[in-house]
Amino acid sequence: MRVFVTGASGHIGSLVTKELVEAGHEVVGLARNEAGTERIAAAGGRPLLGSLDDLGPLVDAATAADGVIHLAFKHDAGFGTNEAVETDLRVVGALGDALAGSGKPFVVTSGTLMAAGKADPATEDLLPEPDPAQPGRVDVEALTLGLAERGVRSSVVRLAPTVHGPTDLHGFVPNLIRFARQAGVAGYVGDGSNRWPAVHNLDAAHQFRLAVEQAPAGAILHATGDEGIRYRDIAAAIGRGLGVPATSIGADEAAEQLGFLGRVVAADNPTSSAKTRELLGWQPTHPGLIEDLDAGFYFERG
């Protein structure tokens, strides 16, 4: 299968590319700069230099492919901004139009945080209601799932907020560590009993391959290895790694200490992947988040 992968040079995308190539697939990977093209080539893919703002080459690549995995997202536009989501909607819409009537698989990335506080635990059946005043990934999910009615084998992978592992250089965990190092404490809000799911990046990459190979049209998939770790236990592991105390802080202090993550550290987001495991035969086999934090590599980077 020839698979077009957006975001193929990123933390997860480079691993998805390698996973697909090792399974015998051909990968055409979108990269936005020369460094990205080198990472894609190193993972065994064929680079396509471009951006999410230039839809023509993306549509051409999707049309020529046997399946598409959309991982790219404008993270540098700002966490949760309208620009990032609106770009995502344009890209998914254009690629969906290109694939309509083909029966080809189209796997789109979402996140479990959209389900925070809505179920305990959130399952793959949960469909949060869109907010007309604030576009979000729930709108991207609705657009993706609607493509199943247009002859596309579309599916959504909801990633845990913490996709961790040795190649995680810029995700939530490195940022939490950076903020804790700056503040001299690893903070949690209130009693820290709120729960975060997590997944090892190699397990996530494996799920994306299984999704493009076999997920049925309209499927929602959850990439969570740890269903829900108490946030104070995450803070404690960060504190151990840095040699600083793990301390309860207020919501205002969290916003001050933790930057853009101050808005989400108090989220209660336990998320089940039981139905995904049964549907795809996916089984996480790599270390959990606390084990990765205690391994020490996150803290050796300075």
C-alpha to C-alpha distance for 231 and 65, rounded to whole angstroms: 41
Q: How many CB atoms lie within 10 A of CB 282?
A: 21
Residue 77's pLDDT is 44
pLDDT band at 260 (very low <50, low <70, confident <90, very high): confident
Are residues 157 and 109 in contact, defined by beta-carbon separation less than 8 angstroms?
A: yes
User: What are the tens digits of pLDDT across the range 110-152?
Assistant: 999 989 999 999 999 999 888 877 788 999 999 999 999 999 9
C-alpha to C-alpha distance for 153 and 214, rounded to whole angstroms: 9
Residues linked to residue 162 through DSSP beta bridges, in sequence order:
198
Checking if the pLDDT of 19 tops 70, the result is yes
- CA distance readout (Å), 212 to 2, 67, 94, 217, 292: 11, 7, 19, 10, 28
Length of the chain, please?
302
Are residues 302 and 177 in contact, defined by beta-carbon separation less than 8 angstroms?
A: no
User: What are the tens digits of pLDDT across the range 142-196?
Assistant: 999 999 999 999 999 999 999 999 999 989 999 999 999 999 999 999 999 999 9
User: Domains of the chain by range and CATH?
Assistant: 2-161+199-225 (3.40.50.720), 162-198+227-270+286-299 (no CATH)
User: What are the tens digits of pLDDT across the range 222-252?
Assistant: 999 999 999 999 999 999 999 999 999 999 9
Task: Return the sign of the alpha-carbon dihedral for residues 293, 297, 301, 302.
Answer: positive
pLDDT band at 81 (very low <50, low <70, confident <90, very high): low
Are residues 96 and 105 in contact, defined by beta-carbon separation less than 8 angstroms?
A: no
How would you classify residue 120: left for phi > 0, otherwise alpha for psi between -120 and 50, otherwise beta?
A: beta
| Angle between the N-to-C axes of helices 172-183 and 231-242, in degrees from 0 to 180, rounded to the nearest 10 | 60
Residue 265's pLDDT is 93
Q: Which residues contact 105 (CB under 8 A, 6 or more apart)?
A: 67, 68, 152, 153, 154, 155, 211, 212, 213, 215
Residue 302's pLDDT is 65
DSSP letters spanning the chain: -EEEEETTTSTTHHHHHHHHHHTT-EEEEEESSHHHHHHHHHTTPEEEE--TT-HHHHHHHHHHSSEEEE----GGG-TT-HHHHHHHHHHHHHHHHHHTTS--EEEEEEEGGGGTTTSTTB-TT--PPPBTTB--HHHHHHHHHHGGGGT-EEEEEEE-SEEESTT-SSSHHHHHHHHHHHHTSEEEETT---EEEEEEHHHHHHHHHHHHHHPPTTEEEEE-SEEEEEHHHHHHHHHHHHT--EEEE-HHHHHHHSGGGGGTTT----B--HHHHHHH-----S--HHHHHHHSGGGTT-
User: What are the tens digits of pLDDT across the range 30-66?
Assistant: 999 999 999 999 999 999 999 999 999 999 999 999 9
